[in-house]
A and B are shown apart, each in its own frame.
Chain A
Amino acid sequence: MGDLFTDTIVISVLAATIRIATPLILAALGELIAERAGILNLGVEGTMLMAAFAAFIGAYATGSTLMALLLAVLAGMAMSFIMVFMAATLKVEQVVTGLALNLLAAGMSLYLYKAFFAVEGQAMPTVAVMPVAPIPFLSEIPYIGPILFTQKVLTYVALLMVPVVWFFLYRTKYGLEIRCLGENPKAIDTKGMSVSLRQYGAVMAGGALCGLAGAFVTIGSSARFVPDITNGRGWLALVIVIAANWRPSGILIAALVFAFLDALQLQIQGIGVQMPYQIFLALPYVLAIVLMVLKSRRGRSEEPARLGVPYFRGER
């Protein structure tokens, strides 16, 4: 058991934590923007899955990481376009729309995968995984270097997005307007500003972040695409938004906690401790439930008051 706590192992667990947190942070930030605009997008999982697939196809066809990321972002935005069209324009029940998006993505990614690769023989197609990009000098700092600064570009992007999204939401007028949509869209409407235009903007910007999250799951971590490769990360992102009490900084913390549990689990499996690893797999979700229970007793919730409620002008 002593092995568990040597420096190298601690460093590798913490580095893995940051890596695993990457798609969680990106997806949760994306969902945060949408939810702040009052739209409950339960389709995160599906949005990530489609983006993951798009990134894989992009990388496979062009060999360019940039093209892959671009495709993933477009896929994320396309999926969230469906979401916001249903929610803001048709004013359909948002929960149902989100769930439908997930089913759509699960089926479609698999179908497209088969359509693309069925003819190309037996071997599973592979792409080059994004390389680690150590930051000069910073990566040489003991402990911190290998944990924080020896990561992939998307990970740096994810960490950077935390303050960026915070600044956007709390220090720009667009952010103010978006937060207003989640609390009381009529306040926007009575000033003669379009509610739905802003919801489109917010949800699709969130979709773009979700797209990056999806890309990390394939070309950021795996050379292959397998069905359902996102494996619940989108759902975890939804929980993270709640656990974070709808704050960007909270998202960073919550994502790191969940990721740490996962990293620990991998490590324990790796060194062959005699314990059913499923227990650790379940840990993030158990923690999520505990957090939800605690949240219900905590003081003021930051949950947007009109989350998931369609806006009608003539309502009274």
Chain B
Amino acid sequence: MSILRVQDLTKTYQSGGRTLTVLDKVNFELQPGDTFSIVGPSGSGKTTLLGLCAGLDRASSGSVYLNDIRLDHLGEDERAAVRNQYVGFIFQNFQLLPTLTALENVMVPLELRGEKGVRRTAQELLDRVGLGQRGHHYPTQLSGGEQQRVSLARAFANRPKILFADEPTGNLDTDTSAKVVDLIFELNREAGTTLVLVTHDLELASRTGRIIRIKGGVVVSDTVTARENVWQGRE
């Protein structure tokens, strides 16, 4: 059983009469609890791949199975439901809802599921990321690192089976990134979530159990690192 399986995934764009192949027959499979990073030069297709894996976009050919559900057969709303049930997101630019407070941002995925005791759960998560006292603040009143921690709390709120992170530290300074990265790996280990990380930062990538490198839409290498590296990185 796999949590994420990508088969012959291809994405092309039509632009100006020409076909631009952004991803070309990408294959890989991840097991629950895996940590995984996608690296490659700018424009190589990393974000495209992540978007396809998370069901945010449709492939031109090939297929994506998320928790054994074939995404390309689903409608937009069904994929949204899949995301709510199994997926968490972290973005480079945080993407908190600017009109909601930190606490409310964390509550959204839970409320969407119609759960009870939502506020307490969300508060616990905020406590966990060290922002227990800032729940009533709006995103604009938080620093970038704080915003990313709130977004982490939100990503873990629905206890996702898989977490997608696109350059989660891209907008943060070195010290803050280190703290956020530590938090990502900690929460991930505690919840046993699969982690898919897109990054430029090779050092960050080396903390995951497996790295694929893509270039021009093609996988050029697929390396399994020692899983223990994840923990070693912390010491």
Q: Do A and B come together as binding partners?
A: no
Residues of A within 8 A of B (CB): none
